[in-house]
């Protein structure tokens, strides 16, 4: 297991796009310490803020996270990254495989564009978690994103594929969804705003937009299969799918092929 240990708080935002286990496996310690991570004209390199210990394995641990560490695990294709602490924005952006875990909180746009792999955030996540970054066509695009704490507004905005599990989310969860599944114990106002397709499974919610229509209670095989799929990830979320549910169809302002399943 390779280890990066934070020696001091970063004086600026750092870009960890190129800091991945496989990228480090072919480098010497001196070469790894010279990798550029700064985002200003200072020209900061990895060794300016981190102690580096490499074993050329497919596992990387970052000891001592910080809210200024951006794009941690971005474009990760295989292997594992473990962060002990917090991270900044765009965690796991474009991730294509592997495992990414954070013991603290994450900034906005976690999981944006991730197509495969599993991202787990033990703390809270910022706005647009699993959502699309500026000018992007889609947010989460096939990966599994688990937030054990609370997420901010616009969870899964423009999500195309994949699965998001979260304890609590703010307003506009599932906004502009294209497809995929979001399961949350509670969400704020206007869930599914502008959604075209996809599934929102919630224990409780705030105000619904008037462009969602209640279609009653249903006992579908799909819900049993969903509960079975969620059980290895979270018994609490699996229990939501297995309980009595009321279905809402929408958003009628779009093509109206989305659905919200809420505890009856």
Over its C-alpha atoms, the chain yields an Rg (Å, rounded) of: 19
- Judge whether residue 225 has pLDDT over 90: yes
Per-position DSSP letters for 105-164, written without gaps between them:
-B-TTTTTT--EEEEEESS-B-TTTT-PPTT-S-S-EEEEEEEEEE--SSTTTT--EEEE
pLDDT at residue 219, as a whole number = 82
* CA separation for the pair 104, 123 (Å, rounded): 5
239-250 pLDDT tens trace: 999 988 999 999
The three-class DSSP label of residue 5 is strand
48-57, 178-187, 201-210: segment of lowest average pLDDT: 48-57
- Judge whether residue 264 has pLDDT over 90: no
* CA separation for the pair 157, 170 (Å, rounded): 12
Domain ranges in the chain are 71-200
Percent of the chain with pLDDT over 90: 88
* CA separation for the pair 5, 170 (Å, rounded): 33
- Judge whether residue 218 has pLDDT over 90: no
41-68 pLDDT tens trace: 999 999 999 999 998 889 999 999 999 9
135-171 pLDDT tens trace: 888 999 999 999 999 999 999 999 999 999 999 999 9
Whether 165 and 233 have beta carbons less than 8 Å apart is answered as yes
pLDDT at residue 56, as a whole number = 84
pLDDT at residue 178, as a whole number = 97
């Amino acid at each position: 297991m390779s280890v990066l240990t934070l020696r001091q708080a970063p004086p600026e935002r750092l870009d960890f796009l190129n800091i991945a286990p496989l990228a480090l496996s072919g480098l010497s310690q001196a070469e790894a310490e010279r990798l550029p991570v700064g985002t200003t004209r200072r020209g900061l390199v990895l060794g300016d803020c981190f102690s580096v210990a490499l074993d050329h394995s497919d596992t990387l641990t970052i000891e001592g996270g910080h809210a200024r560490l951006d794009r941690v695990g971005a474009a990760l294709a295989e292997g594992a990254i473990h962060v002990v602490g917090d991270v900044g924005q765009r965690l796991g952006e474009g991730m294509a495989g592997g495992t990414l875990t954070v013991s603290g909180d994450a900034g906005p746009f976690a999981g944006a564009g991730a197509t495969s792999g599993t991202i787990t955030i033990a703390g809270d996540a910022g706005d647009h978690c699993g959502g699309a970054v500026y000018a992007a066509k889609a947010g989460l695009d096939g990966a599994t994103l688990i937030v054990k704490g609370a997420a901010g507004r616009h969870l899964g905005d423009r999500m195309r594929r994949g699965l998001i599990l979260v304890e609590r989310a703010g307003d506009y969860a599932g906004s502009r969804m294209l497809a995929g599944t979001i399961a949350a114990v509670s969400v704020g106002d206007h869930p599914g705003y502008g959604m075209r397709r996809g599934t929102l499974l919630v224990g409780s919610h705030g105000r619904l937009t008037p462009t969602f229509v209640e279609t009653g209670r249903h006992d579908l095989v799909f819900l049993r299969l969903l509960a079975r799929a969620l059980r290895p990830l979270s018994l609490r979320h699996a229990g939501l799918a297995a309980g009595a549910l009321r279905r809402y169809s929408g958003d009628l302002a779009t093509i109206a092929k989305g659905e919200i399943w809420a505890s009856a």
